[in-house]
A and B are shown apart, each in its own frame.
Chain A
């Protein structure tokens, strides 16, 4: 029974990740628009990227992935490191990027 429960949890988690629309990353060193420009340019080159949002105020880089696609954490960290920045955390959410953009506008 505990094994079934664990499998259910894993399946549910996997399903949640597969359907994730937005990847939010906390990034150190984000202090100017030029930093953001390089990061955005790099992330947009990834074929799984649908849209990119950079917020200096929140030290946040968010990537919307194309439907059914994901970008592995390792690839994200590599992209940010290759841009000259340090990723502190990566989190996947169901919040659409446009909704996140609006939320940050209202409550930066």
Chain B
């Protein structure tokens, strides 16, 4: 399969840039009438590319592709999906914001043993809370097909060394913990990331405790 699998990390990141003239945010919905392009390289275990358009601030829809390589049995899974994201609840506080997002997808999946493109579905949720100095998010993403199912849980905790403003570069140091079910990866994968963003452009990268690269690009425009 797939474009992402063939492209690898640099290719996935290049694809994100090609898809968009600008870059975006780690929420599935950026802003009303905004387009979000995201590419993630997850330490050799997962690669994901997403393109979403938000007609309203609480709703976005688009396409994505997720490629997984098990480091337990070396089997691969490729899932191409059409997704609907919904902002279930937002709290706008004086100097903070918190959100609950939910999403669902209809998908076509192939595995190393079955290239026929079976029906799959996905559901997920994200909770986040952020100020200009503290960031936290918990995301859970579940996929199911007749031949497999798995869940990816990701926790991120970040601190900013200074408070950025709209026109200045934002810098964050983020600790990420990720767990996979479905015989994809054993144990918890830890990563220490540096996140930089300015206006609509976002890049985040760092090593995992296994010495692999964890990286993400996002564009909002």
Q: Is B24 an interface residue (CB 8 A)?
A: yes
User: B98's closest neighbor in chain A, by CB?
Assistant: A29
Surface stretch bound by A, among B13-21, B164-172, B176-184? B164-172
Interface residues of A in 17-76 (CB under 8 A from B): 28-29, 31-39, 41-42, 54-57, 59
Interface residues of B in 173-215 (CB under 8 A from A): 197-200
Other-chain residue from B30, B93, B166 in contact with A54 (beta carbon distance below 8 A):
B166
A66-100 near B? 1/0 per residue, CB < 8 Å: 00000000000000001111100000000000000
Q: Is B150 an interface residue (CB 8 A)?
A: no
Q: Chain A residues near B91 (CB, 8 Å)?
A: 29
User: B30's closest neighbor in chain A, by CB?
Assistant: A34
Range of interface residues on chain A?
20 to 34
B102-117 near A? 1/0 per residue, CB < 8 Å: 0000000000000000
Known: A33-B198, A34-B25, A84-B58. A28 touches B165 (CB 8 A): no
Q: Is B163 an interface residue (CB 8 A)?
A: yes
Contact B170 A37 (CB under 8 A): no
Q: Chain A residues near B30 (CB, 8 Å)?
A: 34, 37-38
Contact A57 B165 (CB under 8 A): yes
Question: Which secondary structure characterizes the binding site on chain A?
Answer: mixed
Report the minimum CB–CB distance from B36 to chain A (whole Å): 9
Contact A31 B130 (CB under 8 A): yes
Interface residues in B, total, Cβ within 8 A: 33
Other-chain residue from A33, A59, A83 in contact with B57 (beta carbon distance below 8 A):
A83
Q: Lowest 8 CB-CB distances: which A-B pairs, in order?
A: A38-B31, A29-B92, A84-B57, A34-B25, A36-B166, A28-B92, A29-B97, A86-B92
Contact B90 A29 (CB under 8 A): yes
Additional pairs, 18, CB under 8 Å, beyond known A82-B57, A83-B32, A108-B165: A29-B97, A32-B25, A33-B164, A33-B165, A33-B170, A33-B198, A33-B200, A34-B24, A34-B220, A37-B199, A37-B220, A41-B31, A55-B166, A56-B165, A84-B31, A84-B32, A84-B92, A86-B92
Pull 21 A–B residue pairs with CB atoms less than 8 Å apart, ordered by A.
A29-B97, A32-B164, A32-B197, A33-B164, A33-B165, A33-B199, A33-B200, A34-B31, A34-B220, A37-B166, A37-B199, A38-B32, A42-B32, A56-B132, A57-B165, A59-B94, A83-B32, A83-B57, A84-B87, A85-B92, A86-B92
